Every structure is written in C-alpha cells, then in structure tokens.
Chains A and B, each alone.
Chain A
C-alpha cells in the first residue's frame, strides 16, 4: 500500500496521454534530432564493440594461447567474465518476474530496462564459454542433435547442464521481454509518423489492438511466464556454481556454492541496474517515472543480498577451519595472504564494507554516491569470481604444479570489449524501443490517482455483487 504521498512512484500530474507521449518520444525522434549525448555515448560503446571484434578475430586466428591461461590455471578471464555477466542478468529477471509475483508496483518503470539488460548480459555471457572452447566452430556438439556418430552429450556433466540452463534462460528471458513489449509496440505503431517505422513496429506488435479479450489471456500468460522464470533465476546460477562445486579443486568443492552464487548474482545485477539507471534517468529526464524512491528500494535490496553474500564469505571461512582439512585451510589462508591477496581484500572492501554505507538513508537518497557504490560492487563481484576461480587452480594439491596466472592484453581487451557490446546494445535499445513499459505505467498512474484521491468512491457494480464492487477500481497489479 502506498500511503505516503511524497513517496509516490509516479510524479503527480502524469496522465495516460502524457506518459505515452513522454516514453514514445525518445524512440520516435527523427535521426536528425538525435541528441548529441546519445551519439557520443553510442560511438564510445561502438568503439568498445570494435575492440571486442578485433580481440576475437585475433583469438580465432591464433587460438586461446594468446590468453594468459595455461596448466594449472586453465580457467581465468573468460570463465570469470561468463559468471559475472550471467549474474548481472539475474537482477533483470528478479525485477521483472519475482517482484511481479510479489505485486511490487514499483518495479513497473524499471522492469523493461532491466529485462533488456538481462538479455544483453546473457548474450555476452554465452559468448565466453564458446570463445574459450578452443575450436568454437564445434560448439553445437554440446547440444543433443542427431548425428551419424550416434554420440550424445554427457548428461551427467555440470558443463552440459550449463548449456541447457543458459539456453533456457536466454530464450525465456527473450520471450518474457518480447511479450511485455507487444502492447507497447502497438502504441509505437499508432504514434509513429514515419511509414517505415510504423510498418516495422506494426509487424513487431503482431496486430495488438488492446482488446480486453486479449488482455485477459495476455495477463495470464505473462503471469505464468513470471512463475516459470522465478525458479529459473535460482536454477541458472546454481548450475553455474555447480560447474565449480563438482570439481575437487580447493576453494571450489563446497556445498555453499549454489545459494552463495545466486545471492552474488542478484547483488551484482542490482548494482548494474543502478549503474545504468542513475545516469540514464537524468539524461532522459525520467525522474518523474524513475523516482528517488526506486533508487532507495533498489539500494535496500542490494544491501540485503549484500549481507547474504557477506554471510557466504563468513561461512566459507568457518567451513574451512571447521573441516580441519589441511588443503582447505591452506587455500583460505593463501587467499588472504598469498599472491592474489590484494584482490581478495579488494573484494572484501567492495562487497562487504562499502555496501554497509547503504544503511544510511542519506546515502540511499544521494544518486551520485549510490552510483559510485554500485560501480564498486560491480568491480568487487568480478574480482570475487576471479579469486574463486583462479586462486584455487593456481595452488592445488601438488606444490610442484603451482603457477600463477597473469592476464595478457588479449584477456583484458576481450573482457573490456564485451562491455562495449553490452553498452552498444543498450544504447540501441533505449533509442529504438520504449525503455519503460508504457502500459504498466498507465496502470500505475490510474492506481496512484485513485489511491491518492480519498474522495473517489469505489465503483460498485450491483449486478456483480460484492465481488465486483470493492476492487472495482483497482487494476490487476
């Protein structure tokens, strides 16, 4: 229940028409009138994408030997980045699916954007294992496809589970995102002045005409997709964590991994949403729709999952000493004092200490501070995955086999390049599609208007009895 008026999720004074106008305005701006800021941002991101393509071309020509990986550290930047990107995606699904099921109205203005972020992050994530394959042209052998060798993938391997988990996650996220877009695409079709734009949006909108008979089925499917996506979020990062936990490498072989990875995923994902939302909402002047209250709520979620992550760290420490296993104890002490210890303390600072600032209401209502904190958490979470993956591999059971990993320029360029790919896709998304769900905002406007105005009498339909009466004015969500 939204009781406090100064905490509104939509600025007062917004109507259906003004919301529609404000959101459709950006994608429908003509090419000539595109803002300079957008062009500049897009060019910088595009440059990053070119860096990625360059690094990958060299990789394809010369092989994974150009990376710093070698035995014993065979997994490093690529797998770290894979886990990190997948984790970022999780916040999008959490916002769009789980908060929908919990009927958290405030998700409305951020869910479309967060879902797009999920899609692009998963696309980036999926690239890494394929690039890491060595012979990426044979990636399709990971799927069960009919072949003359009558071979099957090894269904008992977590790496094959991963293939299924990521594929399912990517496809379901795509469906969910597109489903949510369909009614808004019909608005775009009707608002577009340009014939070409109208045709494209028209085709994508499938002929949606806002009929209540369609809304009826649509709502049902949308809700069911959310129900399906909710356990999916949990399962995907759990399966990713099992890639490690099933191995006997010290620092990997731990039952805490699935929940610990899921919490870390949501943590980094929310940090990424904030990192992107804060500049975006001031750039596009969306502060009336993505209010300070949204930032506050997201910061609170970030703080609470951050505490779960911190609990994970403590459990890891405790388990190591409690197990009495010499190798595990060595692994933990090496983490805090060995070659990679600066990174370990960076991650503790970024993921455990810095988020404690979020307890303060002042910090949560200062967008700039939140932006910096979210950036630090992004860094911290990447470093966390790196330390888990690399430090364990570099010092396992045989001291004679110990070796450290140091990244080469190609490791770094490939990773930095994917940030370029991600931002390029996001820039195109905010320019070409409605980045805020228009129909859900209309619903919210109506909801806030009827609730803010105490004089409005609930609508009573006599023919429907009480059932139609009390909730008559309140839309579905």
Chain B
C-alpha cells in the first residue's frame, strides 16, 4: 500500500534476564547513547540506576497539590465561617480553627493524591494508546510478561543501523529487530 519505506523508529533488543539487561544498559550508557529506553515487566531499581535516571519529580507534584489542598481547604472554611456566613453559635469565636483541621487534612491528602496522578499523566504523556514499540509482535507477546528489552532510537546521534545492531548483538541480545515508526 505505502510504497515509501517506513521510517525506522528504533532497534529493539531482547534479553532473557534482568541481569543481562542491566549489564547491557550500562554498556549502552557508557557508549554514549542518549535516546534509548529499557523495558521490564516489573520495576527494577538497578536498571534505573544503570540508566542514570534523575530522581523523579513526582514528589514535587504531590507536595504542591498537598499544600494547595491544605491551604485552600483551611481558607475555604475560614471564609465560610467568618466572612461569608458568620453564625453565632453559643457565643463561640467565629474563627474556630481547631474545628477546621480534619477537613484541612482530608483535602491535603485528596488534592495531593490527584496532583500525583495528574503529574504522572503529564510527565509520561498518558493516556497514549499508540507507540511504535507495539509494532513488534514479539514485544507485545513478551514485553508485558516475561522478557526484557532495550530500544535505541534512530534519532540518537550515535545511531547507525549496522553498528548499533552489531553492538546490541555483542551485548548478549537474543533478538534484535527493527521497529518502524
């Protein structure tokens, strides 16, 4: 149908074990590749270290949301009970802040949690139903169950189809395939 040769997205190398992938990732980083990603069916901390990932910014999202929720919640209650609808209940002070604490706390947690989730969506660009890596049948079959992958993207300045492919073979990949964009 499409006569033009499909554009290459990446070279995807498959590894059998987590340990092989960690060692390979370390070598890929040392070789100077920048645009690459690794895939594992469960989180692997050593792999994150091997990729030299920066600490996740997620705590800042959650902190921001929590502060917003807490401060906002407190002032909502203060505004309601002091300014907008002051009710004299048995001569008690209008600004009865200890009674605001439970709702302040609940809103801190609520907005903090939502900020974390939406922060994650923003950083990871989810929901994202399509990604070139799903073009690999092998990846779809094993990527989410029992195999480990390393993909080096074609846009990487060091990327060279033959050399990179050889390099990945050398690192112990059991399968190297070309992924179309």
Contact = CB atoms under 8 A, between A and B. Distances in A.
Interface stretch (A63-71, A338-346, A391-399, A461-469): A461-469
Contact of B37 (A213, A229, A440): A213
B174 interface: no
Contact of B113 (A158, A186, A228, A461): A228
A473 interface: yes
B117 A186 contact: no
A468 B50 contact: yes
A151 B45 CA distance: 52
B109 interface: yes
A190 B140 contact: yes
A218 B99 CA distance: 36
A141 B126 CA distance: 35
A203 B42 CA distance: 20
Interface in B94-110: 96, 99-100, 102-103, 105-107, 109-110
A63 B110 CA distance: 34
Nearest to A239: B102
A456 to B, nearest CB: 9
A209 B133 contact: yes
A15 B140 CA distance: 18
A203 B43 contact: no
B49 A464 contact: yes
A224 B59 contact: yes
Interface in A202-234: 202-203, 206-221, 224-225, 228-229, 231-232
B120 A475 contact: no
B131 interface: yes
Contacts of B129: 202-203, 206-207
A312 to B, nearest CB: 21
B102 A472 contact: no
Contact of A212 (B39, B66, B76, B146): B39
B143 A209 contact: yes
Given A212-B51, A475-B42, A475-B45, A207 B106 contact: no
Interface residues of A, number: 73
Nearest to A151: B85
B58 A210 contact: no
Interface string A228-265: 11011001000100100000000000000000000000
A219 B84 CA distance: 43
Interface string B73-91: 0001100110011010100
A459 B117 CA distance: 34
Interface stretch (B1-9, B16-24, B156-164, B165-173): B16-24
Contacts of A175: 113-114, 117
A98 B138 CA distance: 38
Contact of A186 (B18, B120, B144): B144
Given A161-B102, A190-B145, A216-B56, A168 B110 contact: yes
Contacts of A287: none
B43 A215 contact: yes
A16 B130 CA distance: 25
A237 to B, nearest CB: 12
Contacts of A167: 106, 110
A15 B16 CA distance: 12
A368 to B, nearest CB: 34
B39 A210 contact: yes
A413 interface: no
A168 B99 CA distance: 18
A3 B99 CA distance: 49
Interface string A174-186: 0110010001001
Nearest to A442: B42
Nearest to B112: A228
B85 A150 contact: yes
Contacts of A464: 26, 49-50
Given A156-B81, A463-B26, A232 B144 contact: no
A471 interface: yes
Contacts of B30: 463
A209 B100 contact: no
A225 B51 CA distance: 25
B40 A212 contact: yes
Contacts of A151: 85
A439 interface: yes
Interface string A8-30: 00000001110010000000000
A258 to B, nearest CB: 11
A160 interface: yes
Contacts of A16: 41, 145-146
Contact of B18 (A17, A152, A190, A446): A446
B19 A224 contact: no
B48 A216 contact: yes
Sorted nearest first, the 7 A-B pairs with minimum C-beta distance are A16-B146, A220-B56, A207-B128, A152-B80, A220-B58, A206-B127, A215-B43
7 contacts: A20-B144, A144-B80, A172-B109, A207-B126, A207-B130, A235-B105, A440-B42
Given A190-B143, A443-B42, 16 more contacts: A155-B100, A161-B103, A164-B106, A167-B110, A168-B106, A191-B144, A207-B130, A208-B144, A212-B51, A213-B53, A214-B124, A218-B43, A224-B59, A459-B46, A463-B29, A471-B45
